[in-house]
Structure 1
Amino acid sequence: MRHTRHGWMVCFLLLLSGVSPASAQSVTDRLGVPGPVSFQGTEFALAWTSNPSPSYFKQEYVPAGEQVEHFNQMFMIEAETSASPETAAAAQVDMLNKRKGSDPVVNYDLIRNDATDEIILDFVLSDSSTGTTIVEWNAYRYAPLNKSGGVALHAISRRGYGDQARDFLIGLKEKRSPAINALASFKTPKLQPNP
């Protein structure tokens, strides 16, 4: 789990880079998507960016009044020029499988669109290491970055904290499918990685 500046689950590339999100403090648009990003009727403003390696770019967006350190919902956009949707999704699934021994909430589903070479990974996980239970649901949409290769990630992350964690999980039954459908049909902006 990520215990630094933002949500827990990072596309596998941040883990491979060994770079902590806290090491990048700039909020400079690095993908040509300065925001706001509109998703399911909510406006998400650019709040955090990172370029932890020459081929990897990450941006996080939160609604007004929320912080990346403690958010209720976050939209993420990432680009990795040296990976593919398949390898990125497989690495994230591997990470989730490794968590299963220590996190009883971990569960995931993979949805493939062979026509577009896109994959949506829908997953939930939890953490109580800080003394407060946090439950996080994510939907990651992996797509080809461009004709030359690479992967673009567009994702929604939502959390429930403490006493609200159980209600959050129960509420996922109604909210999960509409969010996945919205992510699948989300008009993705063309990403222009720029260190």
Structure 2
Amino acid sequence: MKNKILLSVLSFFVFTSSFHSQETKTEETTIGTPVTVIDRLNIPGPINFMGNEFLLALSKQNSATWAQQQYIMRDDELSNYKELINISYFDKEIDMETAIKQKVDFVEKRRDKTQDKYSFVSVTESPDGKEIIVDYLTTTTPNEGEPFAEYNLDRFKSFDTGEKKSFVIFSYSKRIAGDLKYAARSLSKERGRIMEAAIKTAIPPVTYKPTEVDKKK
């Protein structure tokens, strides 16, 4: 696996973040009529990450075994966020090596296709091999609006209780708009701090409540 780095100092199992109580239903913080969001994963919140509180803004039942929830800061917008946390829960066993390869291939193919000279992707494995982080940077120049750089971190973890196997991807994303060179450089400088925070942050406990699969729009 490319760019694999063994963590020698920071253990994936040194968890320090706490999660405060939050109602299982909240209001979506996007523009338009507020919509009740069902907390399908029953995650205590808000989620605290890097000193900020992230509130539940979106919950989707993508398939019979895949539920996804997204969290943003109070004054942010889901449609044009600055920072976002995404939690994907798979109510089945997922091969971690395959999931990692698919993510790395996606970023590398995107970089080649778009000629994104600032893009990179890296894989970091915990000492015991039970968790893996894929972090990567991309830049985007939309048809409308400012160009932006986006740093993403995906933390993959398998769970096996003996009776049931599941898989969780805890993701953090941060965007900086404006000059791409400056934005990409700024995010690259923050990479170490974000990685350390992700390693020390506990993946929230999940109590899965499956619902009807959302219809594709």
Query: Would you call these one fold, judging by a TM-score over 0.5?
Result: yes
Q: Of the two structures, which has the highest relative contact order with CA contacts closer than 8 Å and spacing of 6 or more?
A: 2
Aligned counterpart, 2:204: 189
Aligned counterpart, 1:156: 172
Within the alignment, does 1:93 sit opposite 2:109 as a pair?
A: no
Aligned counterpart, 2:57: 47
TM, length-normalised to structure 1: 0.79
Structure possessing the higher radius of gyration over alpha carbons: 2
1:86 and 1:167 map into 2 onto residues whose CA distance is: 34
1:102 match: secondary structure: helix
- How much has 1:178 moved relative to structure 2? 1.1
Flag the 1:192–1:116 CA change in 2: closer, same or farther, 3 A. Answer: farther
2:85 match: secondary structure: strand
- 2:121–2:134 contact (8 Å) kept in structure 1: yes
- Percent identity, aligned pairs only, is 24
Figure out how many residues of one structure are paired with residues of the other and give that number: 170
TM, length-normalised to structure 2: 0.72
- 1:36-185 to 2 correspondence within 5 Å? 36-82=46-92, 83-103=94-114, 104=116, 105-131=118-144, 132-147=146-161, 148-163=164-179, 165-185=180-200
- 2:108–2:121 contact (8 Å) kept in structure 1: no
Indicate the structure with greater helix content. Answer: 1
| Unpaired segments ≥5 residues, structure 2 | 1-34, 211-217
Aligned AA for 2:207?
Answer: Q
Aligned AA for 2:73?
Answer: P
1:194 match: secondary structure: coil
